[in-house]
Amino acid sequence: MSADQVKESLVAQVPLFAALPRSEIAHLAGHLRLVDYPAATLLLREGEPGDRMFVLLEGEVEIIKALGSDDERLIAARAAGDFFGEMSLLETAGKRTASARTRTPVKLWELSRADFETLLHRRPALAYEMLREISQRLRTAQEGRIADLHEKNRRLTEAYEELRAAHAEIVEKEKLDHEMDLARQIQERILPRRLPQPDGFELAARVVPARAVGGDLFDFIPLAPNLTGIAVGDVTGKGLAAAIFMALTRSLLRAEAGPLATPVETLRRVNGLLRDINDSATFVTMLYGVLDGDTHQFTYARAGHELPLLLGPCGETFTPDAGHAHPLGMFANPAIDERTIALPPGSTLLLYTDGATDVRDATGVRFGWDRFCAAAQAGLGDSAQQFCDNLWQAIAAFQGAGEQADDVTLAVVYAK
Amino acid sequence: MEIQVSQVNSRVPVAVLKIIGELNADTSGQLDAEARKVYESGTRNLLLDLSDVPYISSYGIRTLSEIFNLLRAGSPDENDAALDKGLRNGSFKSGHLKLLNPTQQVRRVLNLAGVDMFLQSYDALDAAIASF
């Protein structure tokens, strides 16, 4: 078999040309240019002008839309016997409607636009054959596009649902943040902003909540010209619920405190009222005392709270003995520890909540009693507010990047 | 925090809850849940081993109080009147909830909050179990 005969035989095996008469096959065999390409060769680029079509003899070619973009999609694969690149030749100065890239090494025939047009004029039947094939391809492409749209729609619905859930979450969080913000404002307004300054003493306080709002409280209540009620308390818990319970406790304390009621009587009444209205297990430790400007004495009642720390004029520290005492709300008739301590001129009385000694650094080490005492002693001679601020600075510096787990409250009385 | 539960059968069955770690606002709920589980399984006597609890916060105290109230609920000799009377004259001791070997730091907080007035602490396991 001669080389021409071999070529004619190959042309005759292509389904598109199979029905052509021998003379036409011989003519085509003379005009088709045989070329080889390695795998991954880009034969056509979408959007570029098309000047030839191809008939695949060996290997595979991928037809790709939107090549190189996020939307890239393989729309078809062509195998031996298939033709491709014909679409742009059907339009004048038509552009490639897709890209074509070899998947394997290929052997193909190229047919120029001029040869293609001449062939169609000479053999209109070939146009029908091509139209049938193109029509089939269009249907397949359309079905693929519909499947694509379904998939895109499904993803959009999914994304919409996720967006809706995220939006609901944000709204809920904003609502909660708003509530927490309101609670913090209420708490700030509840706690005294202006402190009484009884003759012979300086008073100061500082609360640093662990969250936006906390369960710690302090109060300075003018009871009589020479008597000032002072309280520090700690509700078991944190956050909004603790803050509400704190506000309630402080209101009850304000209502029950008076110049004629001893601190123990006051706390017993507060305990009774808390027990009446609180059926949960929440309770509050509190130290409430009356500062007497005449005697320079502080008589306090302690309900399960931390002991006060007294710093003498020379820096010596003193903590009273701990008598029996229960937190408020724990029992109907709690034990309450009552003491009287003298505040000589130059001494500083420090009331606090356990958050102050329990602060931890980033490695989990507690601030502890010894560091707390040393930091307090370092403020010897400071004004009450300066003492308070410096002590908090020392606590905060120790804490560093550590998380504040509990509210910190400091209340200071400096005897002039 | 970790809680190891064991059962000791002495005069009465006693569940021993060995707590390893701090009892604070974040961990106390775990103890509460474990104690309720033991209670619901029928055990009415609990010994909390605190030898590996370095710290207890007021939240931990609240949890001890809740477990105490849970266990005394079905015990006529620990009703409110008996508790009130016992606390007044200093004679009350919980018969169903006891503590084993609290550390010095924890002992201090138990004392400040008056928990030692109604929960007895023991230094040795045998003595603690025998006391139920």
Residues 6+ apart with CB under 8 A from A106: A36, A37, A41, A56, A57, A58, A59, A60, A61
CA pair distance B54, A270, nearest whole angstrom: 32
Q: Is residue A395 part of a domain?
A: yes
Candidates A231, A212, A215; CA nearest to A223 is A231
Residue A324 has what pLDDT?
92
Q: What is the CATH number of the domain that holds A71?
A: 2.60.120.10
Same-domain check for residues A236 and A298: yes
Q: Which domain holds residue B62?
A: 2-130
Q: Which domain holds residue A211?
A: 191-415
Q: Is residue A252 part of a domain?
A: yes
pTM, to two decimals: 0.67
Q: Helix or strand or coil: residue A181?
A: helix
Nearest residue in B to A239, CA atom: B25
Residue B112 to residue A330, Cβ atoms within 8 A: no
Nearest to A281 among B66, B83, B112 (CB): B66
Q: Are A85 and A54 in contact (CB under 8 A)?
A: yes
Same-domain check for residues A142 and A202: no
Same-domain check for residues A138 and A219: no
Residue B113 to residue A236, Cβ atoms within 8 A: no
Nearest to A322 among B59, B84, B111 (CB): B111
The domain tally of chain B equals 1
Q: What is the CATH number of the domain that holds B79?
A: 3.30.750.24
Same-domain check for residues A301 and A404: yes
The domain tally of chain A equals 2
How far lies A157's CA from each of A153, A162, A165, A171, B74, in Å?
Answer: 6, 9, 12, 21, 56
**Is ipTM over 0.85?**
yes
CB pairs under 8 A between A and B: 67
pLDDT in tens, chain A (416 residues): 677 777 788 788 888 787 888 888 888 888 788 899 999 999 999 999 888 889 898 999 999 999 998 888 888 899 988 889 888 887 777 888 899 999 999 999 888 888 888 888 888 887 887 788 888 888 887 887 788 788 888 888 888 888 888 888 888 778 777 766 766 676 677 778 788 899 999 999 998 877 655 688 899 999 999 999 999 999 886 667 777 888 889 989 999 999 999 999 999 999 999 988 876 678 899 999 999 999 999 999 999 999 999 999 998 999 999 999 999 999 989 999 999 999 999 999 999 998 899 888 999 898 999 999 999 999 988 899 999 999 999 999 999 988 887 889 999 999 99
Same-domain check for residues A242 and A313: yes
A-interface mutation test, from B58, B91, B115, most A Cβ less than 10 A away: B58
Same-domain check for residues A202 and A131: no
Same-domain check for residues A198 and A108: no
Q: Is residue A174 part of a domain?
A: no
CA pair distance A96, A98, nearest whole angstrom: 6
Q: Is residue A377 part of a domain?
A: yes
């010894």: which residue's tokens?
A370
Same-domain check for residues A319 and A206: yes
A350 class by beta-carbon count within 10 Å (0-12 exposed, 13-18 middle, 19+ buried) = buried
Q: Is residue A349 part of a domain?
A: yes
Q: Is residue A316 part of a domain?
A: yes
Task: From chain B, pick out residues whose CB is under 8 angstroms from the CB of A331.
Answer: 83-84, 87
CA A245 to chain centre: 29
Q: Is residue A156 part of a domain?
A: no
Q: What is the CATH number of the domain that holds A257?
A: 3.60.40.10
Task: From chain A, pick out residues whose CB is under 8 angstroms from the CB of B87.
Answer: 326, 331, 333-335
CA pair distance B26, B98, nearest whole angstrom: 23
Q: How far is A260 from chain B (nearest CA, A)?
A: 25
Q: Are A350 and A308 in contact (CB under 8 A)?
A: yes
Q: Is residue A153 part of a domain?
A: no
Residue A80 tokens, joined: 């031996």
Same-domain check for residues A199 and A321: yes
Same-domain check for residues A201 and A343: yes
Same-domain check for residues A141 and A195: no
Q: Are B111 and B61 in contact (CB under 8 A)?
A: no
CA pair distance A97, A176, nearest whole angstrom: 55
Nearest residue in B to A368, CA atom: B105
Residue A81 tokens, joined: 């016997």
Q: How is residue A306 annotated by DSSP?
A: P
Q: Are B5 and B17 in contact (CB under 8 A)?
A: yes
Q: Helix or strand or coil: residue A278?
A: coil
B-interface mutation test, from A267, A282, A286, A331, most B Cβ less than 10 A away: A331
* Residue that terminates a domain, selected from A114, A146, A178: A146
Same-domain check for residues A125 and A260: no
